[in-house]
Amino acid sequence: MLKRFQISTELQTELIDITSNIEKLIKDSKVTEGICSVFVPHTTAGIVINENADPSVKRDFLVELNKMVPDREYYTHAEGNSSAHIKTNLVGSSETIFIEDGRLLLGTWQGIFFCEFDGPRTRSVWVKIVKEK
């Protein structure tokens, strides 16, 4: 089954923890074992899995990514948001997580983050839940 939800981002670049949104979709689906694929249908946003216990981790990640891929005068993309497109390719547009006992099988410190690289905007997240049991 395919589920979708929207999120409103507030900053030009930010990470938003969407783990609980996806856990809720899995709970509602009644699927206890299977695979969950999370996909972002945008060219200037992505998905990552990282630590969600200490907020410094996502802050440091963004600081470093913005330093690695700054806006450059020599970019030729007319829309002027090449750095956002590049960051999207670096982090990727999807993640796949196993479902076990009706829950996402994430490590203790792991969470799923929506990555905004050209906000603020209203964004979509697509979630495919494949049932094994």
Q: Where along the sequence are the contacts to Zn ion (CB under 5 A)?
A: 79, 81
Task: Determine whether 12 is exposed, middle or buried from the number of CB atoms within 10 Å of its CB (0-12, 13-18, 19+).
Answer: middle
> In angstroms, what is the minimal distance from the CB of 80 to Zn ion?
7
Nearer to Zn ion, 52 or 88 (CB): 88
Nearer to Zn ion, 111 or 119 (CB): 119
* Residue position matching structure tokens 């090449």: 82
> Is 75 in contact with 92 (CB distance < 8 Å)?
no
> In angstroms, what is the minimal distance from the CB of 89 to Zn ion?
12
> In angstroms, what is the minimal distance from the CB of 78 to Zn ion?
8
Strand ranges (E), the chain: 2-8, 14-17, 34-39, 45-51, 94-100, 103-104, 110-116, 122-131
Residue nearest to Zn ion (CB): 79
Classified as helix, coil or strand, 128 is strand
Nearer to Zn ion, 39 or 117 (CB): 117
Question: Residue 109, Cα to own-chain centre: how many angstroms?
Answer: 16
> In angstroms, what is the minimal distance from the CB of 83 to Zn ion?
10
Nearer to Zn ion, 9 or 81 (CB): 81
